[in-house]
Amino acid sequence: MDFQLSEEQKMLKKMAYDFANERIAPLVEVWEKTGFSKDQKLISEYAELGLLGITLAEQYGGGGLTAFDAVLVMEELARVSTIASGPVFESSLGPIRVVEKFGTEEQKQRFIPPCCTGEKFMAVAMTEPGAGSALTELTTRAVLKGDHYVVNGRKRFISGGGYSDLYMVYVRLSDQKGHKGIGGIVVENGTPGLTFGKQEEFMGLRGMPSCDLIFDDCLVPKENLVIPEGGFARLMQAFDAERCGNATQSLGIAWGALEAAKKYSQERTAFGKPICEFQAVQFLLADMAMKVEAARLLIYRAVVNSENGLPSVFESSVAKCFANEIAKEVTDMALQVFGGYGYSKEYPIERMLRDSRGWPIAGGTVQIQRINIAGAMLGRRFSQR
């Protein structure tokens, strides 16, 4: 067990740090105020730096690196903005990994290379109006008719909705109830019968596009079916990697808040000296640091142990649940260090606090992660019905 980064990993982190601060930081407030707009020039810069498809095989245009390398990059970007780390998240730990792990060679050749160049991005479409945490109750249906699947249904709160080019859609392929009838199919933006709802306005993550996906006799080529009926477990196995990405987004927010609080505490004076001289502030900083370091180690464990395959349910759920919760706590403590200024939009802490609240809901709530943890510990599945 070695906690030292290689020289290559240090260089990768430094490159991501410089890119985040020089190129991304000036855009954060623009995204906050006006929302996200697809900037192909910016995406091309990600690709030129090798920040897309970090974990994907070199034969398909990826970086051929590890999930740990992707997490190192995401940390550096997410402490400036989780919107900025989104392209790395989606192209390295997102649903494109389902195609890489379980798709046919033709599907890999067709879908993976454009995700590595930034030409296309793939989003995951799981949640429905009546199926979020109870995912096995999803009703979006795909029926094979000739050479196409006819898809009908609606997906809700889809991150990247309306902007992503490809969607890994969880669908019901038969009348079998529960997980047995569920599979995964790639639906391309522009497919007849696919439309989008209005863009959501959230309390945080304001630069992140999100909307409903509406399928009305949507015709999808049968060659786009990646996970057949009965493959729900494989879909969720790949989603364990995405949990680690979600956890890293929370870690990045918490780390950014800690760094901002450290800097501010040495600049702000009260009673004639920097506020870092006061024990009350020292305790806040120390507690923040402990939480950030613990979350980081849990994420690192999950992704490093996944290198021979995909993360375990237990380790990825522990990492996500803990990181999600400490991000809320750390940003709240950082706001306390800043005092009244932390509550002002002139400083980044109030944005970080709002952003921290989104990740414990996205990608499986922290309550669902606790059920996963208990089930993995006890070696059994728990039905909530």
Please return the burial class of 287, using the count of CB atoms within 10 Å of its CB with bins 0-12, 13-18 and 19+.
middle
Place of tokens 């497919």: 191
Q: Please tell me the predicted confidence (pLDDT) of residue 308.
A: 67
**What is the homologous superfamily of the domain 122-230 according to CATH?**
Butyryl-CoA Dehydrogenase, subunit A, domain 2 (2.40.110.10)
Report the alpha-carbon distance of residue 51 to residue 37 in Å, rounded: 19
Is 194 strand, coil or helix? strand
| Closest CA relative to residue 54, chosen from 39, 71, 41 | 71
Query: For residue 39, what is the enclosing H or E element?
Result: none
Task: Give the contacts of 280 (CB within 8 A, at least 6 positions apart).
Answer: none
What is the SS3 assignment for 108-122? HHHHHHHHHHCCCCE
Task: Give the contacts of 92 (CB within 8 A, at least 6 positions apart).
Answer: 52, 53, 54, 55, 56, 67, 70, 245
| pLDDT beneath 70: ranges in the chain | 36-37, 308-310, 384-385
Long-range contacts of 344-348 (CB under 8 A, 24+ apart): 347/260, 348/28, 348/256, 348/260
Would you state the structure tokens that stand for residue 183, as one six-digit string?
A: 């599979």
Distances 182 to 20, 22, 92, 235 between C-alpha atoms, Å: 39, 44, 24, 9
Task: Examine domains 122-230 and 233-378 and report if their fold is the same.
Answer: no
Decide: 112 and 60 in contact? Cβ < 8 Å: yes
Report the alpha-carbon distance of residue 250 to residue 173 in Å, rounded: 34
Would you state the structure tokens that stand for residue 120, as one six-digit string?
A: 């296309």
Report the alpha-carbon distance of residue 252 to residue 68 in Å, rounded: 14
Interval 117-133: pLDDT, tens: 999 999 999 999 988 88
User: Looking at the domain 7-117, which fold is it?
Assistant: Butyryl-Coa Dehydrogenase, subunit A; domain 1 (1.10.540)
Whether the model clears a pTM of 0.85, i.e. scores above it, the answer is yes
Q: Please tell me the predicted confidence (pLDDT) of residue 234.
A: 85
Looking at domain 233-378, its CATH architecture is Up-down Bundle (1.20)
Residue ranges of domains in the chain: 7-117, 122-230, 233-378
Dihedral angle computed from the Cα positions of residues 46, 184, 357 and 73, in that order, rounded to the nearest 10 degrees:
-30
